[in-house]
Amino acid sequence: MNDPASTDRPALEAAQAEVDTEQESPDGSLIVTLETKDGSADIIVPRVEDWDSEAFESVNEVKYTTWARLVLSDEDWKKWSNLRPTISEASKFFSSWSDLSGADVGKADRSPRWQRRMKRR
């Protein structure tokens, strides 16, 4: 007898692939929804490789407004600044972005050796 869950798995994977494709633009940017108590907006996030070093440092230092000003287009920056996300709301945004992109900003540049050194201090 066929397990209904295993029968639906290919359909679920195909649906997820379609959603992922819809959230990625031709240049590799991702569309991520920013949800705040004041509303929500779809924000286009450029590829990490296109961020300058100050933007990368800003997101690692939890300076999300600085990151948004440096990375986002003028239109998306206006959306971000009008929604005024809290740290919690911005963290959820970056978590969604990380899930979509597969990137883990803040940890990719930290080697295990560096992390061990920091624990000893």
The model's pLDDT over 51-61, given as tens digits with 9 standing for 90+, comes to 999 998 998 89
Task: Spell out the alpha helix ranges (H) of the chain.
Answer: 4-22, 53-60, 64-71, 74-83, 87-101, 112-120
For the chain, give every domain's residue range: 39-121
Long-range contacts made by residues 90-93, C-beta under 8 angstroms, separation at least 24? 90/34, 90/64, 92/35, 93/32, 93/33, 93/34, 93/35, 93/43
Q: What is the pLDDT of residues 4-29, one digit of tens each?
A: 554 555 554 444 444 443 466 778 89
- What is the DSSP code (8-state) at residue 118? H
Is the CB of residue 109 less than 8 Å from the CB of residue 53? no
Q: What is the DSSP letter of 121?
A: -
Tokens at 4, concatenated: 């209904």
pLDDT tens figures, 32-83? 999 999 999 999 999 999 999 999 899 889 999 999 999 999 999 999 999 9
Q: How far, in Å, CA of 34 to CA of 60, rounded?
A: 18
pTM (2 d.p.): 0.67
Q: In the block, which residue shows the tokens 């709301």? A: 89
